[in-house]
């Protein structure tokens, strides 16, 4: 145990020099103005033991990491029917591109590009009475922190800059692959992205993906063991935008990044990990965070390949 | 004169067999359910003499033909500044494609694809107190029929199927190339497309493009002579969607088509023409109408090339 | 007459300041190292009267202007069958792009992008015993200069940099739209592009496109009057690469440019024009040349629109 | 052991009904005319124990499976320098597409699409005296069958239908990312694809990817343990063409398919697998083969996720 904590400290030391070489997300002021000089990491094992280092207690905007949890909620409701409306192939394109969506008749390539995530929100909207509340409740239960909430200012800022996502949603609507009011779903999606959690909470919340679908205390079976494998497979091929191949190559783990600078990664049967540092590389993934996960994967010999 | 009327009659006879080989526009019921068995043509010379044949007095939905008149209104207001926000190159893509718009940062290729037309509506919205009214007034003055109006049912139906155009508008907005409320501009655009006019009225209304910018009675200088040449140039390279090259090849005239089945064509210095038949070819242009214009261009030896 | 010569002199004076603001073609040394400080113009009327100014007697590499003449040769042999294998629509893409060729099964959009021109060479190869010789003979007859020839050094340099064109040709071959040996056709195409002519010769050689298909002395009927209109239509929509719309807008004439800095333009029924200045704009067309044609078109009030 | 053999038999029984629902590769007669009614599977554990069922001794054309071995050879020679010239991201496009190659300046997305594999052949050509012989020698040593060879008739047939690959190679050459003579490299690639092996031989030959880089008898260290993880990562995200995401989702293993109907899959630390059935699904992967691997992965609980 002490060992792992030491390992985490050493890893953070090694990647700290990367800070200053990336860029914080520019598209909304709330994210652009964050102090870039932050770096945290947390690991949770399947028995609930947590290790951490650096700014692991500082909450940040989870952004696209929310897509893992909304997909899980949707799988619980729709089961395999979900794959009628969204694919599970890497897109080979930018996360917010409309090009493929046009040539493939409004079916998003996977649930982790923006189009796919908006579609999942649309599906939740159709069948949940209060999807935002349900997502928050799930994250609270999984992490054990019942005060997790959306940063209203960030959510508002997201909505003010949601034209691109609106275009994506309307394009799907034009292909009859979007059922609810676009504005409503965009609001919902903005609220999901603006949820604030810290590394420890996200590591805990993600453990079901390393633990056959079960939460730490076994009180919540988020997904079946079979669904977990499938979600991890989609994370491994599509979870880091257009740098998923590079992440598999360097880290070798299913993972999901957000433009807030967080990345979660799953070591199946063993650990869930969350790392955070706000500056992003060109692909939109945390620069220091990716490097830290690469070192961690080597240290724990945990590449699935 | 009698000669021209005879020519028109003969042309309609020759192209009538094409009826049944195309398809009416399918995307809104109001257009899909039209009687396809209609065919009309009208020519107007620069002295105001009008010749016509067939169903030249039957009003139809002008659809994209409205783009010629909104561009003219916008040129009057913005002059060359218009070309800061919209190009004048053929797109080589479907009229409603978002692909190029994404790779060219929200600048539409030309004012006659949907993106460009919506942008022109956005520009009018910024500077006109009542753009829909101004457009109707212009068309009424130019055609001499003061009862020209929008078919409210068609406009409503357009709005109900406007998701694709909404996607296009929001994509431009995401690139800061769209200033007004998207819904408002879509409403305005739907009203323009749903205006009803007949062949004779459209031929009269278009004569300024053959007449150095001046209306029939010289009471309205719609555009300067220089602007007219430029509008005609854009019509010649971009006016018939992704079949503009074929139209230049077969007809050799600046023209603009609409999915209602109407096509206007300009014989600079001599005539304006409008032909109408509801069934469309694969490119979305009136099948019999294009054929009629090809014959007319030969009969009058009027190709500009 | 004196008038026209004066007009030409004035135009050259006005556009001379543009020299230094463009770039000579970079892809082969023979073109990159040319003295950029050259500018010439020539006009030929349908009676054979020639006017010129500047460096109108200096030979230059005609490059893509050859495509007009090879298309004319092919039309003479194949008539309308040519359009089974090549389209006549603007591409909306770079002149050497393979993207559209892939999505449209190896049918080039038009005969003036590289793919289309290579296809025309392939067609000539199938039916001419010596296509290069035939092209030279045609140009010699039309221009009256029997010493016109290919610059062997330029042709060799073209071949050394022909990988992109080879890719284009092989892609068509993979769609069964290319019949002959790729290397052979590339050699032929390189020889056509490397032909050297001056402005006066090119203006004379092009007069058939303003003169219902007939050469100056009426000894050669290059094309039928009908074919001339069609070639001019394709020139007007596709002749200046991905800036054809802009050329129509500014100049309003059918035209064809080459990366050697030459541009020919046709004023139907009246004149053929050739302008030359080696520096190109971003679209690959002569910068000063385009500006000169814009002024000339205004001076002669010759826009076809 | 008996257990595994029984499992394999049962799996083949279950997937046999799929035969007749796919299509053999159509592009060369040698592959199109194969008896589609064949199905074999073989597993090799890291101690060299082999299990098999069905037509596991029938040789077939390995086709794109060769890409795994040529990449391994190239990694041995070039180490990480390889990634200067080829990426490791899923392409999101057809395996033989040129579109991305054009927009990404001749750098193939990964070594398993055709462009990437041709590039690897080009790299081998630059540094091996006899790359074809070296590949055969490697496969012979790894599989223990010293009579493995290329089917000359298939290789010849590939060359006769190599226009698309020629286009791909020339496009890379035009971006200075291809050093050798295109024809030479195409010949070499055709010979690799036309190698004939059976399921047992391919399973044995692939064991180094499950065995930290070492061959069965430990006599050959094909790759370092670290390189193995990286090759497996690229296989997992890019190994099954544009259906790699689906394969990860259904099978959860690094794998590589060929249009001859073979697929190899790696269960890291445990097994290598080869399945073969000539009929392909729409993505170009063996239809019954993919289904068999899905069942096997479930039976052995071997998904890496």
Give the tens place of pLDDT for each residue, A23-59. 999 888 888 899 999 999 999 999 999 999 999 999 9
Mutate to test the interface with C, among D93, D96, D97, D98 (most CBs of C within 10 A): D98
Mutate to test the interface with C, among B248, B254, B284, B293 (most CBs of C within 10 A): B248
- Could you tell me which chain D residue has the CA closest to the CA of C162? D174
Closest CA–CA distance from residue C22 to any residue of chain D (Å): 24
Strand partners, C273: C43, C265
Taking the Cβ of residue D240 and every Cβ of chain A, the question of whether any pair is shorter than 8 Å is answered with: no
Residues of A in contact with D93 (CB under 8 A): 92
Give C249-290 pLDDT, tens digit per residue: 999 999 999 999 999 999 999 999 999 999 999 999 999 999
| Confidence band for B71, pLDDT divided at 50, 70 and 90 | very high
Taking the Cβ of residue A92 and every Cβ of chain D, the question of whether any pair is shorter than 8 Å is answered with: yes
| Confidence band for B2, pLDDT divided at 50, 70 and 90 | low
Q: Do B89 and C89 touch (CB under 8 A)?
A: no
Distance CA C95, CA C114 (A): 6
Least CB–CB distance from A233: residue in D242, D252, D268: D252
Closest CA–CA distance from residue A112 to any residue of chain B (Å): 20
The overall average pLDDT reported for chain C is: 96
Taking the Cβ of residue C107 and every Cβ of chain B, the question of whether any pair is shorter than 8 Å is answered with: no
Q: H helices of chain A, where?
A: 2-15, 29-32, 66-78, 99-103, 114-127, 131-143, 152-160, 163-174, 182-193, 199-206, 225-238, 244-250, 287-299
Residues of C in contact with B110 (CB under 8 A): 245
Give B5-43 pLDDT, tens digit per residue: 999 999 999 999 999 999 999 888 888 889 999 999 999
Residues of C in contact with B233 (CB under 8 A): 245, 248-249, 252, 303, 305
- Could you tell me which chain A residue has the CA closest to the CA of D103? A93
- Could you tell me which chain B residue has the CA closest to the CA of A99? B99
Closest CA–CA distance from residue A137 to any residue of chain B (Å): 33
Q: Do B245 and C89 touch (CB under 8 A)?
A: yes
Q: Do C244 and B110 touch (CB under 8 A)?
A: no
Which are the contacts of A275, defined by CB distance < 8 A and separation ≥ 6?
Answer: A40, A41, A42, A199, A262, A263, A265, A286, A288, A289, A292, A293, A296
Instruction: Give partners of A (≥3 CB pairs < 8 A).
Output: B, D
The overall average pLDDT reported for chain A is: 96
Residues of A in contact with D100 (CB under 8 A): 92
Question: What's the N-to-C CA distance of chain D in angstroms?
Answer: 25
What's the pLDDT score for residue B1?
Answer: 53
- C-beta of residue B304 within 8 angstroms of C-beta of residue C254: no
Q: Do A174 and B168 touch (CB under 8 A)?
A: no
What's the pLDDT score for residue A76?
Answer: 95
Give B246-272 pLDDT, tens digit per residue: 999 999 999 999 999 999 999 999 999
Does pLDDT of A65 surpass 70? yes
What's the pLDDT score for residue C27?
Answer: 84
Taking the Cβ of residue C101 and every Cβ of chain B, the question of whether any pair is shorter than 8 Å is answered with: no
Distance CA A191, CA C160 (A): 58
Does pLDDT of A295 surpass 70? yes
Q: Do C90 and B237 touch (CB under 8 A)?
A: yes
Mutate to test the interface with D, among A103, A115, A237 (most CBs of D within 10 A): A237
Taking the Cβ of residue C230 and every Cβ of chain B, the question of whether any pair is shorter than 8 Å is answered with: yes
What's the pLDDT score for residue A160?
Answer: 95
Q: How far is CA A256 from CA A62, A213, A232, C202, in A?
A: 10, 17, 10, 62
Taking the Cβ of residue A232 and every Cβ of chain D, the question of whether any pair is shorter than 8 Å is answered with: yes
| Confidence band for B217, pLDDT divided at 50, 70 and 90 | confident
What's the pLDDT score for residue D216?
Answer: 86
The overall average pLDDT reported for chain B is: 96
Q: How far is CA D212 from CA A96, D208, D265, D274, in A?
A: 38, 6, 15, 18
Closest CA–CA distance from residue A97 to any residue of chain B (Å): 8
Taking the Cβ of residue A284 and every Cβ of chain D, the question of whether any pair is shorter than 8 Å is answered with: no
Residues of A in contact with B114 (CB under 8 A): none
Stretches where chain C sits below pLDDT 50 are none
For range B285-295, the mean pLDDT: 98
Q: Do B92 and C110 touch (CB under 8 A)?
A: no
What's the pLDDT score for residue A1?
Answer: 53
Q: How far is CA B134 from CA A267, B130, B139, B189, D79, in A?
A: 65, 6, 9, 13, 69
Q: Are strands B40-45 and A50-54 parallel, antiparallel or unpaired?
A: unpaired
Burial of D88 (0-12, 13-18, 19+ CB in 10 A): buried
Over chain B, what HEC string results?
Answer: CHHHHHHHHHHHHHHHHHCCCCECCCCCHHHHCCCCCCCEEEEEECCCCEEEEECCCCCEECHHHHHHHHHHHHHHHHHHHHHHCCCCCCCCCCCCCCHHHHHCCCCCCCCCCHHHHHHHHHHHHHHCCCHHHHHHHHHHHHHCCCCCEECHHHHHHHHHCCHHHHHHHHHHHHCCCCCCCHHHHHHHHHHHHCEEECHHHHHHHHHHHCCCCECCCCCCECCCHHHHHHHHHHHHHHCCHHHHHHHHHHCCCCEEECCCCEEEEEECCCEEEEEECCCECCCCCEHHHHHHHHHHHHHCCCCCC
- C-beta of residue D59 within 8 angstroms of C-beta of residue D196: yes
Closest CA–CA distance from residue C166 to any residue of chain D (Å): 6
Domains of chain B listed by start with CATH number:
2-299 (3.40.710.10)
Does pLDDT of A175 surpass 80? yes
Taking the Cβ of residue B97 and every Cβ of chain C, the question of whether any pair is shorter than 8 Å is answered with: no
Asked whether residue B259 is marked as a ligand-binding residue, the answer is yes
How many of the other CB atoms lie within 10 Å of CB of B33? 9
Residues of A in contact with B168 (CB under 8 A): 167
Distance CA C154, CA D19 (A): 58
Residues of B in contact with A98 (CB under 8 A): 98-99, 102, 167, 171
Least CB–CB distance from A174: residue in B167, B173, B182: B167
**Residue with structure tokens 């004569």?**
B207
Query: Element (H or E) spanning C12, and its range?
Result: helix C2-15
Taking the Cβ of residue D61 and every Cβ of chain A, the question of whether any pair is shorter than 8 Å is answered with: no
Asked whether residue B50 is marked as a ligand-binding residue, the answer is no
Q: Do C98 and D171 touch (CB under 8 A)?
A: yes
Residue-level pLDDT, tens digit, chain D, 305 residues: 568 999 999 999 999 999 999 999 988 888 888 999 999 999 999 999 999 999 999 999 999 999 999 999 999 999 999 999 999 999 999 888 999 999 999 999 999 999 999 999 999 999 999 999 999 999 999 999 999 999 999 999 999 999 999 999 999 999 999 999 999 999 999 999 999 999 999 999 999 999 999 998 878 999 999 999 999 999 999 999 999 999 999 999 999 999 999 999 999 999 999 999 999 999 999 999 999 999 999 999 999 99
Q: Please count the residue pairs, one from chain C and one from chain D, whose beta carbons lie less than 8 angstroms apart.
A: 57
Give A153-162 pLDDT, tens digit per residue: 999 999 999 9
Binding residues of D for substrate: 64, 114, 158, 165, 189, 241, 259
Question: What's the N-to-C CA distance of chain A in angstroms?
Answer: 25
- Could you tell me which chain D residue has the CA closest to the CA of A283? D89
Least CB–CB distance from C102: residue in D99, D169, D173: D99
Q: Do C305 and B233 touch (CB under 8 A)?
A: yes
What percent of chain A has pLDDT above 90?
A: 93
Q: Do A171 and B163 touch (CB under 8 A)?
A: yes
What's the pLDDT score for residue B219?
Answer: 84
Closest CA–CA distance from residue D179 to any residue of chain C (Å): 12
Q: Do D254 and A91 touch (CB under 8 A)?
A: no
Q: Do C168 and D167 touch (CB under 8 A)?
A: yes
Q: Do D171 and C97 touch (CB under 8 A)?
A: no
Q: Do B174 and A167 touch (CB under 8 A)?
A: yes
């Amino acid at each position: 145990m002490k060992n792992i904590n030491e390992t985490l400290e050493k890893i953070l030391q090694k990647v700290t020099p990367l800070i200053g070489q990336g860029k914080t997300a520019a598209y909304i002021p709330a994210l652009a103005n964050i102090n870039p000089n932050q770096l945290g990491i947390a690991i949770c094992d399947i028995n609930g033991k947590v290790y951490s280092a650096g700014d692991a207690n500082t909450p940040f905007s989870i952004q696209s990491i929310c897509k893992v949890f909304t997909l899980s909620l949707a799988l619980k409701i729709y089961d395999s029917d979900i794959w009628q409306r969204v694919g599970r192939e890497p897109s080979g394109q930018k996360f917010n591109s409309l090009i493929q969506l046009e040539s493939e008749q409004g079916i998003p390539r996977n649930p982790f590009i923006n189009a796919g995530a908006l579609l999942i929100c649309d599906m939740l909207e159709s069948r949940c009475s209060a999807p935002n509340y349900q997502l928050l409740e799930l994250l609270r239960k999984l992490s054990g922190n019942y005060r997790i909430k959306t940063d209203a200012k960030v959510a508002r800022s997201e909505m003010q800059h949601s034209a691109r996502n609106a275009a994506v949603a309307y394009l799907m609507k034009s292909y009859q692959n979007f059922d609810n009011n676009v504005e409503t779903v965009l609001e919902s999606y903005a609220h999901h992205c603006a949820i604030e959690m810290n590394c420890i909470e996200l590591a805990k919340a993600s453990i079901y993906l390393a633990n056959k679908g079960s939460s730490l205390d076994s009180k919540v079976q988020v997904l079946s063991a079979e669904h977990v494998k499938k979600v991890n497979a989609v994370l491994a091929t599509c979870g880091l935008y257009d740098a998923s191949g590079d992440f598999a190559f360097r880290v070798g783990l299913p993972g999901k990044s957000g433009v807030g600078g967080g990345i979660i990664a799953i070591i199946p049967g063993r650990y869930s990990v969350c790392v955070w540092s706000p500056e992003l590389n060109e692909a939109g993934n945390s620069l220091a965070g990716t490097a830290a996960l690469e070192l961690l994967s080597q240290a724990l010999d945990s590449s699935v390949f």
